[in-house]
Amino acid sequence: MKPVRILITVVCFAAMIHAQDRYSQKVVRVVGTSEVKVVPDRAVIELGVYRQAPSAGVAKESEDAAARKLLAAIRANGIEDKDVQTTYLSLQPQVNIHKGVRTTYFVAEQTLTVTVRDLTKLDTILQALIKAGGNRIDSVRYEVSDLRKYRDRARDMAVKAAREKAQALAAALGQEIGKAHSIEEVPDSQYSGALANSSADYYSRDKSRAPSTSAGQQTISASIIVSFDLN
């Protein structure tokens, strides 16, 4: 049994040396963060039509006619087919009981998602869609089309911020940093952006013709963890 005990002792001793080497390594580990403010350049409208009738066929026919008018209005305002998508379609029976009388009817619905790439036309398009029969606007969402470019910029700025922070910490100790040992990006759900109150330059200065919606800004952020040698 002695050889086994000796082997276990040697293994434990080697593990202790490895742990000491790891913890005695001179490094400075910092987190670099950055934010890029971007004015959205497109909007996504979710709107739909809602029709009800005593029979399923009449309800669907009425909804189809309204949807065709919506599509015609969308095309008339310069929106390309690639920027229009049907995202929801429904035909369901509904039951209404009033004073003991049971009434059955059918409801047909369709939801369209429309991407508007010229924000100066947003109000005009919304008005045209309502006039064409759109009786439900679910949301207007602002987006940045070239999001990848701004994410990359935020990431580069975060790396630079991490180096500057590490240099400042090392200088406070009378030391310097060396090469980087590791780098890691922290997942950030804020990439989707938070809207801030600000006016866009493309909007008219004439308040009587000012838009009824505001694009604001999106904040695109990045966080990077970097370990540097501490010399």
The conformation of residue 187, written as its DSSP 8-state character, comes to P
pLDDT bucket at 63, cuts 50 / 70 / 90 = very high
Residue 229 near residue 27 (C-beta atoms within 8 A): yes
Domains of the chain in sequence order: 26-39+146-230 (3.30.110.170), 42-143 (3.30.70.2970)
d(CA 220, CA 35): 6
Given a cut of 90, whether residue 1 has pLDDT beyond it is no
| Predicted pLDDT of residue 203 | 34
| Predicted pLDDT of residue 165 | 95
Average of per-residue pLDDT across 179-193: 72
First to last CA, the chain: 47
3-state DSSP helix/strand/coil % of the chain, to nearest 5: 40, 40, 20
